[in-house]
């Protein structure tokens, strides 16, 4: 077991933490949805149409470019609607449950790779480079599993995994057959998952220490021509359960967090449930508009009460849109309540790591990149982040390769985006850069 200390990064201490590990019972949802954008790199081609019945675990669609990659339904029921956007892009597949308990059972004697593809669990793994659902024709150099989420207000992955922890060893065993290298498991300092068959590394440091890609970069970085897979322990345990029982576990535990939640807590749920089924009667009742985020405040997707829980199906955050509409002197205020990770307000004298109630206000507009090294301070990887961003904007392929484009994913730049004084959408820039590289190189 190796101990890896990360000094760069930042822990954003937000108001709205969960203070107890009790899990509330599932209330049930009127509809469930699968959102294709959650499984990046797949162009969906429907296998079911509106009105068709479907069992839990039965394929809803496959990848247009590789029919072996499938995404399955989390519940049994009827395909109520296929929601389409511009140019008939599939935005969501909505399923109305019938409570029949009809669950597809898979043959555990089948080849493990084929089993993952058919069950839909393959789509929950990510490949680097490009941060996409893995290609079926490439064998990864190594596989990296993260056992913790270090994002603001993130849930405990051990608690989300629950009793499925007993299947983790089997999951690691299956994954080890799919690589010629090693399966690495990144754990936090106060928690170790022994006897899993993986090579365990303990990480100490601020966010984004829990990102599997950051862990990979500090163990064995990705070079040009190499491919690695990344996933979390929850997915690894689901893989083990599939191989042991022949069924996919679509249940999950969702953390309801943030200053906009009345009593932050954990709730049992099923993947793809409605936001309303989770947050109904749980949002703080005041005169302030609320921002509902499926995920954490750095990488999550903005949703409303009629929306659905997005992959990886374990976190909802609610914050205020704006705490104070009219503030005396605005950004120039000397109020000790003003917050910044930099020493620009007097609040840093009270301690930068105190619990804060932040809203969704941007507090400024886009401006030129300030080459001050602030991105590097938020990204514990051996790359020059600011130079990489400039190379992506210019689409200089040679420089992008030299500066580490193959190692990164948008989520790795989420903290830098929050800290960015230039207010640039770094995650969008990185995503567009990866897409252009993929189109150019593949």
Q: What is the DSSP string of 316-342?
A: EEEEES-S-SS-TTGGG---TT---SS
SS3 119: helix
Per-residue model confidence (pLDDT) at position 424: 94
Instruction: Tell me how far CA of residue 175 lies from CA of 156, 186, 296, 423, in angstroms.
Output: 23, 15, 28, 40
Q: Looking at residues 413-423, what average pLDDT do you find?
A: 94
Nearest to 27 by CA among 343, 270, 242: 270
* pLDDT of 390 above 80: yes
Q: Looking at residues 301-311, what average pLDDT do you find?
A: 96
d(Cα 45, Cα 65) in Å, to the nearest integer? 9
* pLDDT of 291 above 70: yes
Is residue 12 packed enough to be buried (19+ CB in 10 Å), middle (13-18) or exposed (0-12)?
A: buried
Residue pair 130/438 in contact by the 8 Å Cβ criterion: yes
First to last CA, the chain: 37
Token pair recorded at residue 242: 């599939």
Structural domains of the chain in order of their starting residue, each with its CATH number? 2-20+108-245 (3.40.50), 324-357 (no CATH), 374-441 (no CATH)
Per-residue model confidence (pLDDT) at position 89: 96
Strand extents, DSSP E, 287-409? 290-294, 301-303, 315-320
Higher pLDDT, 188 or 370: 188
* pLDDT of 348 above 80: no
Per-residue model confidence (pLDDT) at position 32: 98
d(Cα 28, Cα 223) in Å, to the nearest integer? 45
* pLDDT of 171 above 80: yes
Identify the H or E element spanning 94. Answer: strand 90-97
Per-residue model confidence (pLDDT) at position 235: 98
Taking each continuous run of H as one helix and of E as one strand, the counts in the chain are 11, 19
d(Cα 123, Cα 69) in Å, to the nearest integer? 7
- Name residues whose C-beta falls within 8 Å of residue 309's C-beta, 6 or more positions apart in sequence: 254, 269, 271, 272, 273, 274, 275, 278, 294, 316
Is residue 91 packed enough to be buried (19+ CB in 10 Å), middle (13-18) or exposed (0-12)?
A: middle
Per-residue pLDDT tens digits for 50-81: 999 999 999 999 999 999 999 999 999 999 99
Per-residue model confidence (pLDDT) at position 355: 87
In whole angstroms, how large is the CA radius of gyration of the chain?
22
Q: Looking at residues 342-365, what average pLDDT do you find?
A: 77
d(Cα 72, Cα 55) in Å, to the nearest integer? 9
Burial letters 18-39, b for 16+ CB under 10 A, else e: beeeebbebeebebbbbbbebb
Crossing angle for the helix pair 168-176 and 233-245, to the nearest 10 degrees? 90
* pLDDT of 136 above 90: yes
pLDDT band at 131 (very low <50, low <70, confident <90, very high): very high
Higher pLDDT, 433 or 372: 433
Mean pLDDT in the chain?
A: 93
């Amino acid at each position: 077991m190796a101990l890896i200390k990360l000094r760069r990064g930042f822990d954003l201490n937000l108001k709205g933490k969960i203070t107890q590990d009790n899990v509330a019972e599932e209330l049930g949802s009127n509809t469930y949805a699968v959102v294709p954008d959650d499984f990046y790199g797949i162009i969906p081609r429907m296998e079911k149409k509106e009105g068709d019945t479907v069992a839990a675990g039965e394929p809803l669609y496959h990848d247009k470019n590789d029919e072996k990659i499938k995404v399955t339904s989390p519940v049994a029921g009827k395909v109520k609607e296929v929601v389409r956007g511009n140019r008939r892009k599939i935005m969501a597949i909505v399923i109305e449950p019938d409570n029949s308990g009809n669950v597809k059972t898979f043959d555990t004697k089948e080849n493990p790779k084929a089993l993952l593809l058919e069950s839909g669990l393959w789509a929950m793994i990510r490949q680097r480079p490009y941060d996409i659902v893995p290609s079926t024709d490439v064998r990864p150099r190594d596989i990296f599993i993260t056992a913790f989420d270090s994002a603001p207000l993130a849930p405990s992955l051990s608690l989300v995994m629950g009793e499925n922890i007993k299947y983790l060893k089997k999951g690691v065993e299956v994954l080890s057959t799919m690589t010629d290298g090693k399966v690495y498991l990144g754990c936090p300092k106060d928690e170790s998952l022994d006897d899993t068959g993986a090579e365990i590394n303990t990480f100490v440091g601020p966010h984004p220490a829990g990102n599997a890609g950051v862990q990979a970069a500090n163990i064995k970085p990705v070079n040009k021509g190499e491919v690695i897979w990344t996933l979390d322990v929850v997915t690894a345990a689901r893989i083990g359960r599939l191989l042991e029982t022949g069924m996919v576990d679509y249940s999950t535990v969702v953390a309801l967090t943030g200053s906009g939640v009345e009593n932050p807590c954990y709730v049992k749920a099923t993947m793809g449930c409605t936001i309303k089924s989770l947050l109904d009667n749980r949002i703080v009742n005041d005169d302030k508009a609320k921002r509902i985020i499926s995920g954490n405040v750095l990488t999550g997707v903005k949703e409303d009460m009629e929306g659905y829980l997005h992959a990886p199906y374990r976190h909802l955050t609610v914050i205020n849109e704006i705490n104070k509409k009219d503030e005396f002197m605005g950004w120039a205020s000397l109020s000790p309540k003003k917050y910044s990770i930099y020493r620009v307000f007097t609040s840093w004298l009270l301690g930068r790591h105190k619990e804060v109630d932040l809203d969704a206000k941007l507090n400024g507009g886009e401006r030129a990149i300030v080459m001050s090294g602030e991105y590097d301070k938020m990204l514990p990887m051996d790359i020059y982040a600011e130079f990489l961003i400039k190379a992506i904007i210019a689409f200089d392929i040679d420089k992008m390769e030299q500066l580490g484009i193959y190692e990164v994913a948008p989520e790795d730049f989420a903290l830098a985006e929050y800290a960015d004084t230039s207010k640039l959408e770094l995650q969008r820039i990185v995503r567009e850069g990866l897409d252009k590289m993929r189109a150019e190189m593949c």
